[in-house]
Chain A
């Protein structure tokens, strides 16, 4: 028999989502503020970002909330939500999305050659650092946070096809860079 009054008084009460909010609201706010320079807009962006977080709560392990992994995800979401917000605010024409060209990197690289080998590992982190933001974000969302193309597409506000293309392109770029070390 459990006395529920006692149980409720003592229980941790905060849900996974609330923990994320309390832990990262300031981080997300300052990310948004640094881009918008407006406190009210930054608060709006924090809210929009958190709505996106709800959709992928099941992918966030409660034990990792305090880790860099979770922080990176929150920053990526806030940053991209802010960028999207600014684009809308500035009434920038959003062109009809076209699938990004995958073929600007030499075609002679076959898919089997794009695989990363153990001996390449020591230079890999450095190569990742050299990638542009759009590719780094996709690598983190798809490979590191294990999000689906659909979930990553929502965060970056692009189509699923573009997520897959960017991922493919990021891997090709890494391969090219790693080849230069040989």
Chain B
């Protein structure tokens, strides 16, 4: 038997013994007894406040750990597509000029977008407190629509990717199509949030008391998460 296998066997025996020992461990008994002898501790308000921050940190880490493989896969896919495009452009003479023209036009378009004072808030004072403060790089606000109890904002980037952010002041029954979709539930800034990814679109639906925030569009999970997290 190899040394490595012997060592594993030895460690396994040790693990079993540790489990057995734990059942009779005096220290463990002492701490358990201490807890049983006392009433449950009433934690202070400061502690609860600090714990909310720790919960958010834990959520973020749990979320990234859960979706890390997907995010890496998506990033790798994009990299392959970009590399393939570059190779095509540089190798196929017939495509080179039209494609270069296309990128040139897109670049011109972005200059146009850049003119708008995008750092300013786009909503009236009624809704400003609900406007996300984070916007993925390259995206600008192209439409804003406000009503008495709702608003939505449309964002676009120079590549033609679009996403919309909705706010409803009264919770309504919202149904999302989750057929063949990746769906999960998380908590963002203490608000319950459902995430659905389908057909290259990411949708986040977030609740706060009687209000509802809804994000939909061609965004990476990471960016969409950041947007929702930036809602004050």
Q: Which residues of A contact B (CB under 8 A)?
A: 1-5, 7-8, 11, 13, 15-18, 21, 25-27, 29-31, 33-34, 39-40, 43, 46-47, 50-51, 54, 57-58, 68-69, 71-72, 75, 112, 114-118, 120-121, 124-125, 128-129, 133, 139-140, 143-144, 171, 174
Contacts and interface: CB of A to CB of B under 8 A. Distances in A.
A11 B205 CA distance: 15
Contact of A40 (B19, B32, B44): B44
Given A47-B51, A47-B54, A54-B54, A116 B14 contact: yes
A68 B47 contact: no
Contact of A68 (B9, B28, B34, B40): B28
Given A5-B174, A34-B31, 17 more contacts: A1-B175, A2-B175, A8-B192, A11-B185, A13-B185, A15-B58, A18-B55, A30-B31, A31-B31, A43-B46, A57-B61, A72-B25, A112-B3, A115-B6, A115-B10, A129-B21, A144-B22
The size bracket of the interface on B is 35 or more
B227 interface: no
Give chain B's interface secondary structure class.
helix
Contacts of A143: 11, 14-15, 18
Contacts of A26: 35, 40-41
B24 A8 contact: no
10 contacts: A8-B192, A15-B55, A27-B31, A27-B35, A29-B43, A72-B28, A128-B21, A133-B27, A140-B18, A140-B22
Contacts of B10: 114-117
